[in-house]
Chain A
Amino acid sequence: MKRKVLAAVFAMGLIASMAGCSSGQKEAVSKVQTTAAVTEAASTAAETAKEEASGGGAYKIYLITMDQMDQHWVNVDAGAQKAVKELGNVDYKWLAPDVKDDAKQIECINNAVAGGAQAILLAANGPDAVTASLQEAMDAGVKVVYVDSAASLPAIQTLATDNKAAGKTAGEEMIKALKENGIESGKIGIVNVNAATASTVAREEGFRSAFEGSQFEILETQYGEGDAAKSKDIAANYITQGCVGIFGANEGSTVGTGNAIQEAGETVIGVGFDKSDMILQLIKDGNLLATMAQNPDVMGYEGIKIAVNALEGKDTGAENFDTGVSVLTKETSN
């Protein structure tokens, strides 16, 4: 009985993963056999890529993100589309798994290569998981540009937020505000997502570095899984402990922090990350001091331009491109 249940579960999982990869333009995926062997796919892709390049037509560029749900990726796509419109010679498609999953992202890369991609803008799920299929793509002549997060394989360029630098900016903003309030020491809390998300861990690292040599004591980091309700509980506990400042490392953490400060009604300085309607509202109401907004549209926009430069054999600039953050406060967010 138990074995039967297990077998059924695995079967369902298999079906789900087969249906995992989807795109903004569905026909692009349906043409591709998802089960095609990687090598086969790569070699056919190389052929089609050559054909099209010699034909002198449009460049075929794919954007592959971690999932389709996050507003962040939608903004990367919007930036890319803007560049495509300006350039006029790019055939562009956005592919992404339905949920963040290494295997599904690999499928997407294989699909893009099989679909004749000449360049791929990739937001890698993790540093290592996708490198094998990425190497296949590069061997087949596909130019790879990383947007948002890089894999460990060297590519044309990485366009991303320098999360550590951005975290440090967040820390400096907090210290500035605390000093303006005449606070020179006290406890600081950090609400992070989890210990495995490289981007938010780097933000925390940067944030902590801003406090080096100061009188402030940073407490043990708590993880709220990016869940606004869990993060609110954590932030409320920090406030009970007497924290003077709280840092939220992503959208959910920041919303939770803002809500906790709002409820406590105390002068706790909250600084966060990412931009959403709710966060801007909390800033407007004075419950959060500032949020570090990434510039995903810049990643998409510049990413397409770099990819086209690479395809045309032009200079692509330095290996890393910091797309920076915008510090949004009550004054600057309107």
Chain B
Amino acid sequence: MNSKRQSWFKRLFAVRGMGQVVTVGVGLIVMCVVFGIINPTFFSGKNVANLLRQIAPILLIGIGQSYVLITGNIDLSIGSVVGMSCMISATMMTKGLNPWTAVLLTLMCCLIVGAVNGLLVAKCKLPPFIATLGTMTIARGVAQIVNNNYNTDAIGDGAKGFRDFFYYGKVAGVYNTVIIAIVLWLVFNFLLSKTRTGRHIYAIGSNIEASKLSGVNIVATTTKAYLVSSVSSCVVGLVICATSGMGTMDAGNAYEMYAVAASVIGGVSTLGGQGILIGTVIGASIWGVLQNGLQFAGAPVAIRNIVIGAIVVISVLIDVIVRSGKFGKKNKVENQVLDQEALS
């Protein structure tokens, strides 16, 4: 490599993780243009509004998973917390509870899961995979038991305000779900990039021993990351409840993996310490655009699964190549590890 090219790369990718964000961002634009050419309806105002609303839940759980991944852990309980939130809130509303009280109580239940996750991982030193596998199963069980193993009835006319607030309502032509996602993104992005807690989250993900020695409270920081994850999952559960107007026990099935995909496509490293939330926006958008665009293109669903799987691997691969300068030389080991993580 000549030095001129090196410095160009250096400047563009000065922000850690920006490299992959730019690469997949370009990919996203190309994808949108292609879908627009195949079927012009893709760019209609109605579809764009819908599309943004379809991306919002993926972005929300992506933010949660990104926080946890950056600390070097993983949260498998996301999908089940979504289901739990959906079922708990819906059950309470069908029993005639005020929707906003129901929302508050649901949030508290979800926060408990986040706190337990954090304590199990940081305090009890359980591998995050196992700890959150356990809470994932428990949370799904809770989702099933709150209404005695049935999906709930319709949450009723009393919950119309709730349904509008989380899903059906619009402000200035933009759906509320999108606005909620943007507001939460702004808050969590600020927390992650501008506060001490945010720096600690990166620190323990990069080198947990070094951060311990420099006085970072590992338990508190890890727990905070898991709490962010449970809050965002809780909100998605409420959105789904508002969408359907009922509680479904299966809600959020496999969402934890969508969240990993959105994060990883957007440049968050599963090894911890690296990633920015703007990347998660791009990752979630790619997911949503594929889902929506391929339906408009009339492609079979199997194609979408293949494409998304390939994008997860390729986007990480490109980043590895770009950062190492040469394919598979200096960073061969890291390359393999990243590959494996992306696939798993």
Q: Is the Cβ of B133 less than 8 Å from the Cβ of A229?
A: no
Tell whether B248 is near chain A: CB-to-CB under 8 Å.
Answer: yes
Tell whether B193 is near chain A: CB-to-CB under 8 Å.
Answer: no
Q: Is the Cβ of B154 less than 8 Å from the Cβ of A232?
A: no
Q: Is the Cβ of A69 less than 8 Å from the Cβ of B249?
A: yes
Tell whether B292 is near chain A: CB-to-CB under 8 Å.
Answer: yes
Mark out the residues of chain A between 198 and 257 whose CB falls within 8 Å of any chain B CB in the assembled complex: 219-223, 225-229, 232-234, 236-238, 240-242, 251-252, 255-256
Which residues of chain A have C-beta atoms less than 8 A from B153's C-beta?
276-278
Which residues of chain A have C-beta atoms less than 8 A from B47's C-beta?
237, 240
Q: Is the Cβ of B50 less than 8 Å from the Cβ of A259?
A: no
Which residues of chain A have C-beta atoms less than 8 A from B144's C-beta?
69
The one of A12, A195, A228, A237 in contact with B248, judged by C-beta atoms closer than 8 angstroms, is A228
Question: In this complex, what residue of B is CB-closest to A8?
Answer: B130
B127, B240, B295, most chain A CB atoms within 10 A = B295
The one of B39, B129, B291 in contact with A233, judged by C-beta atoms closer than 8 angstroms, is B291
The one of A219, A225, A241, A278 in contact with B154, judged by C-beta atoms closer than 8 angstroms, is A278
Mark out the residues of chain A between 43 and 85 whose CB falls within 8 Å of any chain B CB in the assembled complex: 68-69, 71
B151, B296, B299, most chain A CB atoms within 10 A = B151
B185-208: CB near A (< 8 Å → 1, else 0) gives 000000000000000000000000
How distant is the Cα of A12 from the Cα of B129 in the complex, in angstroms? 12
Q: Is the Cβ of A276 less than 8 Å from the Cβ of B298?
A: no
Tell whether A318 is near chain B: CB-to-CB under 8 Å.
Answer: no
The one of A5, A219, A225, A278 in contact with B244, judged by C-beta atoms closer than 8 angstroms, is A278
Mark out the residues of chain B between 54 and 82 whose CB falls within 8 Å of any chain A CB in the assembled complex: 54, 57
Q: Is the Cβ of A233 less than 8 Å from the Cβ of B54?
A: yes
A4-38: CB near B (< 8 Å → 1, else 0) gives 01001100100010000000000000000000000
Q: Is the Cβ of A263 less than 8 Å from the Cβ of B168?
A: yes
A267-281: CB near B (< 8 Å → 1, else 0) gives 000000000111001
How distant is the Cα of A214 from the Cα of B93 in the complex, in angstroms? 45
Q: State whether A237 and B133 are in contact (beta carbons under 8 Å apart), knowing that A69-B144, A226-B250, A281-B154 are contacts in the complex.
A: no
Q: Is the Cβ of B298 less than 8 Å from the Cβ of A278?
A: no
Q: Is the Cβ of A232 less than 8 Å from the Cβ of B291?
A: no
B11-26: CB near A (< 8 Å → 1, else 0) gives 0000000000000000
B122-134: CB near A (< 8 Å → 1, else 0) gives 0000010110010
Which residues of chain B have C-beta atoms less than 8 A from A227's C-beta?
248, 250-251, 253
CB distance from B120 to the nearest CB of A (A): 14
How distant is the Cα of A251 from the Cα of B151 in the complex, in angstroms? 11
Q: Is the Cβ of B50 less than 8 Å from the Cβ of A237?
A: yes
How distant is the Cα of A225 from the Cα of B83 in the complex, in angstroms? 14
Q: State whether A228 and B154 are in contact (beta carbons under 8 Å apart), knowing that A233-B291, A240-B41 are contacts in the complex.
A: no
How distant is the Cα of A95 from the Cα of B41 in the complex, in angstroms? 50
How distant is the Cα of A233 from the Cα of B258 in the complex, in angstroms? 16
Which residues of chain B have C-beta atoms less than 8 A from A233's C-beta?
50, 54, 291-292
CB distance from A262 to the nearest CB of B (A): 9
Q: Is the Cβ of B300 less than 8 Å from the Cβ of A228?
A: no
Q: How large is the interface on A (under 10, 10 to 19, 20 to 34, 35 or more residues)?
A: 35 or more
How distant is the Cα of A281 from the Cα of B39 in the complex, in angstroms? 35
Which residues of chain A have C-beta atoms less than 8 A from B243's C-beta?
228-229, 232, 259
Which residues of chain B have C-beta atoms less than 8 A from A69's C-beta?
144, 149-150, 249
Question: In this complex, what residue of A is CB-closest to B82?
Answer: A229
CB distance from A277 to the nearest CB of B (A): 4
Q: Is the Cβ of A223 less than 8 Å from the Cβ of B301?
A: yes
Question: In this complex, what residue of A is CB-closest to B298?
Answer: A220
Which residues of chain B have C-beta atoms less than 8 A from A259's C-beta?
243-245
How distant is the Cα of A103 from the Cα of B294 in the complex, in angstroms? 36
Question: In this complex, what residue of A is CB-closest to B250?
Answer: A227
Tell whether B336 is near chain A: CB-to-CB under 8 Å.
Answer: no
Q: Is the Cβ of A222 less than 8 Å from the Cβ of B295?
A: yes
Tell whether B44 is near chain A: CB-to-CB under 8 Å.
Answer: yes
Question: In this complex, what residue of A is CB-closest to B344?
Answer: A2
Q: Is the Cβ of B150 less than 8 Å from the Cβ of A71?
A: yes
Q: Is the Cβ of B246 less than 8 Å from the Cβ of A5?
A: no
Q: Is the Cβ of B240 less than 8 Å from the Cβ of A255?
A: no
Tell whether B46 is near chain A: CB-to-CB under 8 Å.
Answer: yes
Which residues of chain B have C-beta atoms less than 8 A from A223's C-beta?
301
Which residues of chain B have C-beta atoms less than 8 A from A240's C-beta?
41, 44, 46-47, 50
CB distance from A28 to the nearest CB of B (A): 19
Q: Is the Cβ of B149 less than 8 Å from the Cβ of A12?
A: no
Mark out the residues of chain B between 28 and 50 whose CB falls within 8 Å of any chain A CB in the assembled complex: 39, 41, 44, 46-47, 50
Which residues of chain A have C-beta atoms less than 8 A from B244's C-beta?
228-229, 232, 255-256, 259, 278
A8, A233, A263, A281, most chain B CB atoms within 10 A = A233
How distant is the Cα of A270 from the Cα of B244 in the complex, in angstroms? 15
How distant is the Cα of A12 from the Cα of B243 in the complex, in angstroms? 35
CB distance from A7 to the nearest CB of B (A): 11
How distant is the Cα of A241 from the Cα of B41 in the complex, in angstroms? 7
Q: Is the Cβ of B291 less than 8 Å from the Cβ of A219?
A: no
What 4 pairs across the A-B complex have the smallest Cβ distances? A277-B153, A228-B244, A229-B240, A278-B246
What would 11 A/B residue contacts be, using CB atoms closer than 8 Å?
A: A8-B130, A9-B129, A12-B133, A195-B302, A220-B300, A229-B240, A232-B244, A233-B291, A233-B292, A237-B292, A240-B46
Report which A residues bind B (CB closer than 8 A): 5, 8-9, 12, 16, 68-69, 71, 195, 219-223, 225-229, 232-234, 236-238, 240-242, 251-252, 255-256, 259, 263, 276-278, 281
